[in-house]
Chains A and B, each alone.
Chain A
Amino acid sequence: MKEAAEQARTRAEMEHYQGLLTAYAEGDAAASIDAVIALSRQRLARDRTGLTSALASINKRGLDPLAPWDARRYALAVMLHTDAGLRLAGDTYGRETYDQFQVAADLVQLGVRCAPDRFRALAPHWYVTLSRVLRDRTAMHAAEALLETGRTRLEGDPAILLESGLLAESIATIFALSQIDSRSSWIAGGDGGGVRRVADRRQAWLNDALAWLKRASELEPGNDDVLLHLGRVRALRFEDAEALSTLRAVLERTSSDETAYLAGIFIGAVHDRQDRLGDAIAAYRAAVGKLPGGHAGRVGLADVLRRSGRLDDARQLLLAAVTEGSGKAREPLWWYILEPPGMADDRLAALRTEVRR
Chain B
Amino acid sequence: MKALGVAALGLLALSADGPQVFRTAVDGVRVDVLVSENRRSVRGLTAANFVLRDRGVVQVIDSVSFEDVPVSVMLVLDTSSSVRGTALTHLRQAASAVVDRLTPADRAALMTFNGAVSLDCDWTSDRRRLQDAIGRVDAGGATALHDAAYAALMLRDPSPGRPLVLVFSDAADTASWLPGARVIELVQRHDAVVYGVTLRGAETRPLGYLADFTSGIQAHPENVAAGAFKESFIERLAGESGGSVFLAEESGELRAAFERIVAEFRSRYVITYMPRGVEAAGWHPLQVSLKGRSGRVTARRGYLR
Instruction: Give chain A's interface residues, CB within 8 Å of chain B.
Output: 172-174, 176-177, 180-183, 186-187, 190-192, 194-195, 198-199, 202, 236, 238, 265, 269, 272-273, 295-296, 299-300, 302-303, 306-307, 309, 311, 314-315, 318-319, 321-327, 329, 331, 333-334
Interface residues of B in 200-250 (CB under 8 A from A): 205-207, 211, 213-214, 216-222, 224-227, 229-230
CB of B88 within 8 Å of the partner chain:
no
Q: Chain A residues near B227 (CB, 8 Å)?
A: 190, 192
Tell whether B117 is near chain A: CB-to-CB under 8 Å: yes
| Nearest CB in chain A: distance from B15 CB, A | 7
**CB-CB nearest 10 A-B residue pairs:** A192-B226, A329-B116, A296-B177, A176-B213, A326-B116, A326-B118, A322-B119, A183-B206, A309-B17, A295-B116
Q: Determine the chain B residues whose CB is within 8 A of the CB of A174 once the complex forms.
A: 174, 213-214
For B226, give its contact among A190, A198, A323, A331 (CB under 8 Å): A190
Given contacts A309-B15, A329-B116, contact A183 B217 (CB under 8 A): no
**B residues apposed to A, CB below 8 Å:** 14-19, 111-120, 122, 141-142, 144, 147, 150-151, 154-155, 174-178, 182, 186, 205-207, 211, 213-214, 216-222, 224-227, 229-230
Q: Report the minimal beta-carbon distance from A57 to chain B, rounded to whole angstroms.
A: 48
Contact check, B216 vs A296: say whether CB atoms are below 8 A apart: yes
A300 and B175 within 8 A (CB) = no
Interface contact A303-B182, CB-CB below 8 Å? yes
CA distance A315 to B186 in the complex (A): 13
Choice from B174, B207, B216 contacting A194 with Cβ under 8 Å? B207
Could you tell me the distance in whole angstroms from the C-beta of A206 to the nearest C-beta in chain B?
10
Q: Which of A187, A303, A319 has the most CB of B within 10 A?
A: A303
Q: Return the contact of A236 from the options B14, B17, B177, B218 (Cβ within 8 A).
A: B218
Asked if B18 and A334 sit within 8 Å, CB to CB, the answer is no
Partner of B18, one of A238, A302, A309, A331: A309
Q: B185's closest neighbor in chain A, by CB?
A: A307
Nearest chain B residue, comparing its CB with the CB of A338: B142
Name the residue on A nearest B225 (C-beta): A192
Chain B min CB distance to A341 (Å): 10
A-side contacts of B219, CB under 8 Å = 273
A307 close to B207 (CB less than 8 A): no
Contacts A186-B206, A195-B226 given: A315-B155 contact, CB under 8 Å?
Answer: yes
Contact B154 A314 (CB under 8 A): yes
- Nearest Cβ in chain B — how far from A106, in angstroms? 36
8 contacts between A and B (CB under 8 A): A174-B213, A192-B227, A192-B229, A269-B216, A309-B17, A318-B151, A318-B154, A324-B118
User: CA A348 – CA B186 in complex, angstroms?
Assistant: 46
Q: How far is the CA of A323 from the CA of B133 in the complex (A)?
A: 13
With beta carbons under 8 angstroms apart, the residue of B115, B117, B222, B229 that contacts A334 is B115
A300-B217 in contact given A177-B206, A311-B18, A334-B115 (Cβ < 8 Å) = yes
How far apart are the CA atoms of A173 and B182 in the complex, in Å? 19
Say yes or no: A315-B154 contact (C-beta < 8 A), given A177-B211, A300-B177, A323-B122.
yes
**CA of A124 to CA of B218, assembled, Å:** 33
Minimum distance in angstroms from A277 CB to a CB of chain B: 11
Tell me whether A295 and B217 are in contact (CB under 8 A).
no
Taking CB atoms, residues of chain B closer than 8 Å to A322 are: 111, 117-119, 151, 155
How far, in whole Å, are A265 and B217 apart by their CA atoms in the complex?
10
One of B17, B18, B141, B206 near A326 (C-beta < 8 A): B141
CA distance A21 to B225 in the complex (A): 60
Alpha-carbon gap, A339 to B39, bound state (A): 48
Q: How far is the CA of A187 from the CA of B116 in the complex (A)?
A: 31
